[in-house]
Amino acid sequence: MIDLRLPLALDGGGLEWPDDGKIAVFGPPADADLDGIPKDRAQIIQDFYPAHAAWAARDYDAAVVSEGRYAAAVVCLPRAKQEARAMIAQACAASDGVVVIDGQKTDGIESILKAMKARVGVHGPVTKGHGKLFWIDAPAADFFTDWAAGPARTEGGFWTAPGVFSADGVDLASALLADALPAKLGKQICDLGAGWGYLSAHALTREGVEAVHLVEANYMALECARRNVADPRAQFHWADATEWAPAHKFDTIVMNPPFHVGRASEPQIGQAFVASAARLLAPQGHLWMVANRHLPYEAELKTRFAQVEEVGGDARFKLFHALRPLRKRR
């Protein structure tokens, strides 16, 4: 974790910040300790809504994308390799000074360090807490232009980007659910955790649909969805699906909820999506959901809905249709 390694690098490890100017911090976890970076000079670059909101709540200057030039930059390495490289390229292009890279071994810091050593001089590393921190001097942008990446079309014609869910093409579970959706879904539809918009695109083909609301916490995924779902009935919301509170209820919710943030499976995330779906649906509303077969969602579904049935699937995935959300008594 950066809060373990950054103080060591700054306290006798050889790392120094420039005397003035903004310091961009790309992708820090919501609970990271950035005491080694002057708060009045830090700008958090975070496109995952819950983490972005958490930094803003701590009175940090938080942005979705980098803004202008920086005196220095810090990259907190994400898990996806292509996203990590793209983030480093972005940091190098935006910084006039030192660029710090921090990450865990499980997030690929060793391979990134090796790849960067082959291109530029590297200082450090500082090793602690199953991870490493190292830094390079500016200017370094020219050495990493081939790592830059943004939204691009897949072979299937959809726009995706490094780091978004199912970046290489259509997710098999989502495809299974799309094929199972009935001919009529109602007028007001919501896609919780919409990703780059595959399920929403299919929902819009159903009879009588007036609006489909795409709710997604990953800003880049939502930007891809805007390109993939070019229908005036689509409405896009950068938000935490488990806390989002629109002004009206929905006839149908479709979802393929996430079940991990890091590497470990965290079924409570999907369970929170189920609870949110029940909260957002009209009294006679329908939930159509797909999940990995090993995930324990049945109990939560039966707690939240009057009727739950498994309506298909395969060896890997299960499909659920849940009816009539149950309201908690006050």
Residue-wise pLDDT for 94-106, tens only, equals 999 999 999 999 9
| Whether the domain at 2-147 and the domain at 152-325 fall into the same CATH topology | yes
The band of 261, judged by pLDDT with boundaries at 50, 70 and 90, is: low
Q: What is the Cα–Cα distance from 8 to 20, expressed in whole angstroms?
A: 21
Question: For the chain, which residues make up each domain, given as ranges?
Answer: 2-147, 152-325
DSSP E strand stretches across 16-158: 23-26, 42-45, 61-63, 72-76, 99-104, 123-128, 131-136, 152-153
- CA–CA dist 46, 31 (Å, integer): 13
Query: Which residue type, as a one-letter code, is found at position 235?
Result: Q
Q: What is the pTM of this model?
A: 0.92
| Residue 125: per-residue pLDDT | 96
Q: What is the DSSP letter of 326?
A: P
Instruction: Look at 130-134, 137-141, 285-289, 291-295 and tell me which has the smallest mean pLDDT.
Output: 137-141
pLDDT for 277: 98
Which residue type, as a one-letter code, is found at position 45? I
| Residue range 206-243, pLDDT digits in tens | 999 999 999 999 999 999 999 999 999 999 999 999 99
Looking at residue 141, what is its pLDDT?
A: 78
Residues 152-325, CATH architecture: 3-Layer(aba) Sandwich (3.40)
- CATH number attached to the domain at 2-147: 3.40.50.150
pLDDT tens per residue across span 267-302 = 789 999 999 999 999 999 999 999 999 888 999 999
State both tokens at 89. Answer: 């390229």
